[in-house]
Chains A and B, each alone.
Chain A
Amino acid sequence: MTDSLGQFEQIVLTAILALDDNAYGVTIHAKVEELSRPKKAARGAVYATLDRMEDKSLISSWLSEPTKERGGRSRRHYRIEKSGEKALRESAKTAQRLIETITQALGGVAWKPR
């Protein structure tokens, strides 16, 4: 059985999935802010979540070549692992069930979160 993901972990994992090969600190933070609108996401919270998920083997990371626009520093790229993909699928299923239950409770009117 996979560990269930917290809401912020779901958002960060989704961001990594959406960014594919371009998932590193700056882009992940920007995507997380986009996904968690109107709430702001602290960059530090994104790093802490990435570290935690890496320790849980949900994602893996590596360093790229140093680049000039980063002051000669490397990017840490992230990628979802199989266990991360599985945990994200289960979270999506739960979210889907929630939407269906809310739709039913509202009398069959298709419900969309604002």
Chain B
Amino acid sequence: MEAALNAPPEWLERIVLLAIPPAARESVAGDLWEACQSPGQYAAEALRTVPFVILSQMRRNLNPPALMLQGMLIFLGMGGPATLLLLPLLMLRDAYRPISRPSPRRAIREAILLSSGAMVLLFLFMSIHPPFPVRGGVDSFTWLSLFLAALFLSPFLCLFRAGLIMQGDRRKPLTAGTLSKDALAQAYEGFLRGSFCRNVLEGVALAFAAISGFFFAWDALLVGLFVLAAIYLLLDSLPGMPAALDFVSLRAQYQRELARQEQLHRFLRWLWFAPVLVALHNRLAGPAAANSLIALLNCVAVAILCFLVAALNHEHGGRVQEEIGDLDRARESF
């Protein structure tokens, strides 16, 4: 076994910590520290190790249906090159998903930054993209509208995210350091039952939405996606309650099922909002877009909706990751 002869310099360790995806940070950073012999060896080992860890986390967090749906929406709104550029970035972002719930203060800061950033991007996009009427320079009225919209939207987005976080904070944590096997089995059984009911209800709702989408002349691809998702949810067989597993194996199964359900619902949240996003896109491509203000408002609505779905996924995902982490640290009590 390699012995730790030296601790790595603090600044170097900070950089390495930033580079390691949160889900693997604790164990990988600890291993690198333990194997550290000199700052040079530590840096070289980190350089060799971290890319593998990032790729592995990208693979673990890969959600092909959600990514395809996001890709489709980006393709519809921004075209092929943007899709090719943004999809790897989305995969990388998923690898760096937080493993704890964010603080409301951070959420507020992010919401302000995101809404202002979105407005500036929208302005740039609208000044160069051919289907929009605002070309070759934007008048002062449009500029002013963008920044006023950013100012008006920020508090709303902040409130929404902070509300999501505070609602999550009210939930009772599953473990307080120790957990008996019976309590774990009971929690897992409750989770399976809840997931089953939720999936059946959501499957039925998706089927109804697909039927109504058929009558409201939705895009055929969207109706097909709703039907497929409904069939998957209604036929999805959750694993039965294992009879003879010990604490460690039961915990591993619970963690895997938590992660699987979270992946599934990340996709479903995007799917529920997809018809609205596609309708907004169609309006942008239609004659209504000749009016620059309508085009602008549509773009703003798309940005808000995308932010809302991303926030829902982010906050819910953070809580699930926190639960998985709590289970990781739980000791068996007898």
Contact = CB atoms under 8 A, between A and B. Distances in A.
Interface string B53-75: 10111011000000000000000
Interface string A41-74: 0111101100110110100111100110111011
A61 B35 CA distance: 20
A26 interface: yes
Interface stretch (B23-31, B129-137, B163-171, B293-301): B23-31
A51 B249 CA distance: 16
Interface residues of B, number: 37
B155 interface: no
A70 B251 contact: no
Main secondary structure on B side of the interface with A:
helix
A51 B248 CA distance: 16
Interface stretch (B42-50, B138-146, B192-200, B274-282): B42-50
A27 B1 contact: yes
Given A60-B249, A62-B248, A47 B30 contact: no
Instruction: Sort chain A's interface into a size bin.
Output: 20 to 34
Interface string B247-281: 01101110010000000000000000000000000
Nearest to B52: A44
Contact of B328 (A26, A57, A63): A63
B33 interface: yes
A92 interface: no
Contacts of B328: 61-63, 76
B51 interface: yes
B324 to A, nearest CB: 11
* Most chain A beta carbons < 10 A, residue from B53, B55, B59, B252: B252
A45 B301 CA distance: 44
A61 B55 CA distance: 19
B55 A48 contact: yes
B49 A60 contact: no
Contacts of B4: 69-70
Contacts of A60: 248-249, 251-252
A53 B249 CA distance: 14
Contacts of A86: none
B34 A26 contact: yes
Contacts of A42: 48-49, 52
A95 to B, nearest CB: 27
5 contacts: A25-B31, A48-B56, A71-B13, A71-B29, A76-B328
Given A62-B329, A75-B27, 17 more contacts: A25-B27, A26-B1, A26-B31, A26-B34, A42-B49, A44-B50, A44-B53, A45-B52, A47-B28, A47-B56, A51-B59, A52-B59, A54-B252, A57-B252, A71-B13, A71-B30, A76-B26
What are the nearest 9 A-B pairs in CB distance? Answer: A44-B52, A73-B30, A60-B252, A76-B27, A25-B31, A70-B30, A44-B49, A48-B56, A71-B33
